[in-house]
Amino acid sequence: MHSQQLIDRLTNGTATIGVVGLGYVGLPLVLRYCEKGYKTIGFDVDARKVEKLARAESYIEHISGKDIAAANDAGFEATTDMARIDEVDAIILCVPTPLNKYREPDLTYVLNTTEAIVPHMRAGQVVSLESTTWPGTTDEELKPRIEKSGLKVGEEVFLVYSPEREDPGNEKFETATIPKIVGGVTETCHAVGQALYGGVIDTVVPVSSTKVAELTKLLENIHRAVNIGLVNEMKIVADRMDIDIHEVIRAAATKPFGFVPYYPGPGLGGHCIPIDPFYLTWKAREFGLHTRFIELAGEVNSSMPDFVVNKLALALNGKHKSIAGSKILVLGIAYKPNVDDMRESPSVEIMEKLRYLGADIHYSDPHIPVFPETREHDFDLSSVDLTAQSLAGFDAVVLTTDHKAFDYDLILEHAALILDTRGKFDRNHEKVFPA
């Protein structure tokens, strides 16, 4: 009875949607539900985000204040009050799943959020976990916590796993057009989950269980991590042989079958690719398995910031200079081009290493005007405007994130030395040193 009523409300658009965690995943989802006419409530522990949303102010670059204002006009509310969970029909969890200091999965945000919502849950609700995690989390961690309240999963409340697939800065896809994987704890949960997303996502892809959905998300990102690890290792080999790896990749990509181009860089960034492999390798140990291939790719990718620093030392040495005392400009501190997202950015790790070695560090990033306060990094810096005069004042510039907004001709003309980790410059130019 509860399931059919809920499915009907989700299908006809009368359900109230709750999204917990209003970051890069949760906020776009909120806007999509509002766009399709659903009443939506957003929950976040950060009161500053809630206040900004009430003023229709965006804290994510690719989301406009105009879009937030439209959601507010449609009835969207943001709150820090978890007691309001009983007002919603669907609870979508979009909270972080980082690693702890031992590089092990940290489910603190997921479990604390679950504990916070359970006292306010009622019959007739669906909970969907979107956070990346190890296979078994939904069934083994969320289900028993919810059922401690006395609510029976699959009969009174419903539980699904549907991994996020947001790609900030990708102009080809948006929330609505990215196919959505959905797996339920029971068949009834599964049906409710399909109804939850079917009204707002163009294509819903059903899978047989939450574990399949959880492993699907890990496979997607581990696939990328392993292939990036391969091409980063190929870059090291090509560098030693004085071969342009980017030319090699462009040539290989002309093959119309059997090859997918991946591109090397200064390391892995973002909240998914550097982290997700550890969720699977950790869980695999429970089954007596050692995921050597995945871990090797992780080692290669983790070594790339050191490779960049060593290449810079060699380039400066050729100018009779050392890293210590040199004034270095890092170009781009976002983890990938054309976004303002710094999570796990290898650029910042490179900055840390260069500062430790005595460099006078600065950065330029049109998407991040001021270096934000973070728990991991402490830089009291603002983005340097790129001019002929400012560029000429640095001993070296290090291109780590190839934003479209950079004037590469200006950089090439006025920089004294360019360390290029992205293949944007002609490697044969006397100023350019590939890394």
Catalytic residues, which ones?
272
d(CA 244, CA 235): 8
Report yes or no: 43 and 109 within 8 Å, Cβ to Cβ. Answer: no
First to last CA, the chain: 62
Calculate the dihedral angle through the C-alpha atoms of 208, 32, 403, 231, rounding to the nearest 10 degrees: 0
DSSP 141: I
Which residue shows structure tokens 């990346």?
132
Compute the C-alpha angle 148/149/150, nearest 5°.
Answer: 90
Q: How many residues does the chain have?
A: 435
Dihedral sign, Cα of residue 407, residue 328, residue 231, residue 24 = negative
Maximum alpha-carbon separation in the chain: 78
DSSP 384: P
- Residue 391's alpha-carbon distances to 146, 199, 228, 272, 334, in angstroms, are 57, 51, 31, 33, 20
Closest CA to 20 of 60, 71, 78: 78
Report yes or no: 363 and 333 within 8 Å, Cβ to Cβ. Answer: yes
Cα-flanking dihedrals φ and ψ of residue 397, to 5°?
Answer: -120, 140
